[in-house]
Each structure stands twice: as C-alpha cells, then as structure tokens.
Amino acid sequence: MFYPTGSSKTYDIIYVAAAQAYKRHDILFKAMARLPRSIRALCVFGYGEMSDVLRRQASELQIDVDFVGPPGVPFEEVNRLMNLARIGVVCGVDDGAPAILTEYMLAGLPVLANSALCCGLQYITPRTGRAASDEDFHHAVLDILENLPAYSPRQAVLDNWTWPHSVEKLRALMAAPVF
C-alpha cells in the first residue's frame, strides 16, 4: 500500500500519528522551534482529542506545520501525503510503532525515531534512518535531511521485513524439533 510516487517534496517532515499525548508531538514541535524557520512539517491525524491544542501550540511556537485530520484519510491519501515529505518521524516513547516505521520506509522515507521508543527501534538501521533523544531530535532532523542519498529505507524493508521473510521464519520455527 505504501510506495514512492515521485512527487515533489513540499515538506521536510511528516508525522502520521493520533492527536494524543502519548504520540509526543511536543518533541517534534520543540525540535522545529530550534531548527531553521524554513523547515516545514505535516502532521496527519487519524483521530485524537488534541488536534486543536496541537494546532494552537504550533501557531504559538511560530513553526511551519500543516495539519490534516481528524478524521483520518484513506491509506492511498496517507501514501500521497507521505510522498510530499523528505523524512518521517516517530516521537512517542510509550508507543509501539513498527507499522508506521515500515510504512514510511516503504514510501521511501528515512525515519527519525525517538531513541526511547519502547517498540520498533529494531527497524532503525543505518539504511533506514536514525534514533535520537528528544534533546538531539533537531540535530538528527538536519543530519538526515543533509544525507538523504545515504539511506535506502524501502529496499531495507523489502530485503528484510516483508511477508515472505516472515513466512520463512515461521517455517523454520515449525520445522524445529519440540522437546
């Protein structure tokens, strides 16, 4: 469902996440406040009660963030929106994010994840992106943006984490002797 479209990149960053506190949009906003004002972000909310609060926070910080939703948009539209950005971010800590991490990667986006993320960091490799603390998030954004050609996130997913790989792992487990 997620793939590169070749569209022009009008955003530097995309964050596809519920408008809820545990998604830690504050980390992205704090980083953006420390970045050059030319950095643009897009936040896509499927649901959540904090969308108005997050819009107000971005305005107060005078950072360039556009918002979509809630309500959510179909997967095809999420793919289109991802393809408008250069990198995807995951800012949460108490969050399980393997799906969105690999969805960004399948769309061709390197990922910046919070280094304290409790589930999904195994998908962050030198080919797919970086993990950084909330204090270093702004530095990591710039580093990834300056080194985009060094990443091959889609190919890393195709090489390691698509369903044929899962089937082979399952076959090996099923063939193993049980004691």
Domains delineated in the chain: 11-175 (3.40.50.2000)
Query: CA 33 to CA 11: how far, in whole Å?
Result: 16
| 3-state SS, residue 34 | helix
Instruction: Tell me the mean pLDDT in the region 140-160.
Output: 93
pLDDT for position 163: 64
pLDDT class for 95, splitting at 50, 70, 90? confident
Q: pLDDT tens digits for 47-76?
A: 999 999 999 999 999 999 999 988 888 899
| Lowest mean per-residue pLDDT among 33-37, 98-102, 158-162 | 158-162
CA 172 to chain centre: 31
Q: Amino acid letter at 156?
A: A
Place of tokens 């108490």: 94
Token output for 40 = 């643009």
- pLDDT score of 39 more than 90: yes
pLDDT for position 166: 67
Q: pLDDT tens digits for 109-122?
A: 999 999 999 999 99
Token output for 35 = 């970045």
- pLDDT score of 83 more than 70: yes
Token output for 162 = 């698509």
| Lowest mean per-residue pLDDT among 27-36, 72-81, 95-104 | 95-104
Contact 83, 4 (CB under 8 A): yes
